[in-house]
Structure 1
Amino acid sequence: MIPQIAFYLPLIVLLLLFLASAIKVLREYERGVIFTLGRFTGVKGPGLILLVPMVQQMVRTDLRVVVFDVPPQDVISHDNVSVRVNAVIYFRIMDPERAIIQVEDFLGATSQLAQTTLRSVLGKHELDTMLAERDRLNSDIQEILDTRTDPWGIKVANVEIKDVDINETMVRAIARQAEAERERRAKVINAEGEQQAAAKLLEAAVILSKRPEAMQLRYLSSLNVIAAEKNSTIVFPFPIEFGRFLKGRGEEGKG
């Protein structure tokens, strides 16, 4: 009995090793790129996969979205400002065959392409554009990456610029620029108010000049306002018509 067990034991071990190398199980989000004697023969999965040991090999690929953090990049903007920018990229494999065959390391290739594209695109824009129009820049970078990675069977779903870091000197310069802009707007608004007030005063002068009695009523209205404030100084308007009357009487006396 023992000699028989010793005879069959190596066969059982070989059978188990054969089954272990022949049977593969792929999860729902995985695919297997199959090579038979070095030649591509298809993509299989998910589920149970049977391979011919020593003849067929399988390369696993993950179809889930990959989140890749682009390292901070030193960028010189179009207006010669040095900034450090980092971003995050979301992409996934759409064609496992091309992702394995067309490029040696699709993760490394996508990473390097993302870094160079980030520097290239942002270098064409000024600092104000980087800070205010991130959505448009994200769209431009995503479109370029998606076009260049399409031959590798990769789809770039989204690109987000995370941080735009500038040095302390430039931060102070931007603060001074913002302060000067606010002062400019205040002066413009004040000048526009003076212009509108002058226009209204001119219209009022034209209306009052048509009837001398209206000017006298305006004097009385001003006196009423001043008296309501309880000031110690009393202002009494001198009628223009009375001044003209006295002037006329004086000329008659001289004649």
Structure 2
Amino acid sequence: MSHVSPDALPQYTAAEKRHRVFAIMSASSGNLVEWFDFYVYAFCAIYFAGAFFPASNPTVQLLNTAGVFAAGFLMRPIGGWLFGRIADRLGRKKSLLISVSMMCGGSLMVACLPTYATIGAMAPVLLLVARLIQGLSVGGEYGTTATYMSEVALRGQRGFFSSFQYVTADRRPAAGGAGHRHHGSAAQRGGDPRLGLAHPVRTRRRRRRGRAAAAPCPARNAERGRPR
């Protein structure tokens, strides 16, 4: 195994080091935003189910929503191949800019889509199109970011700086889950019927009333001529 001495490594100026580190942080931030936008759909799927699909069966609604989510993964290999060619021909930066722009466009499309009650069957079709755009984008961004960060990183520290891609990619479930836990706890306190959750205080009250109604009442039995 060959060992490269520190003297053989190129000497970077302070300005060049700042430029390279800034490029690494920019690519890492874009990676975080890409994966957050891609996975936030999963945390909001329970709400998308009732908004974009017919209300005939809640289980079918959730399955349809999950199917649209899975469709995004099918586009990732195609996105990796497509944006790999774009990166070789136009450069890594342009490929990343196109990828991030596509992800933003897909997320904006999901946010602005009319519901099923407004446009009918076109709502889930447009939702699927938006997810396919997002899947294509995140598939192309992942490989391009890995290549770009390894090329821009300082010699002798490429493994360290390239690891930030995975660090930011692993932060996206925590960022999305924090908001989902907040909304979920609010729904539990309020008893959201779409989630199949009942208000805990009201449930306890109903149980007490049920037990009180089922318990024998001496005064009522005496009026009916029954023994106590």
TM more than 0.5: no
More strand by share: 1
Which one has a larger percent helix, Structure 1 or Structure 2?
A: 2
TM-score normalized by the length of structure 2: 0.29
Q: TM-score, normalised by structure 1?
A: 0.27
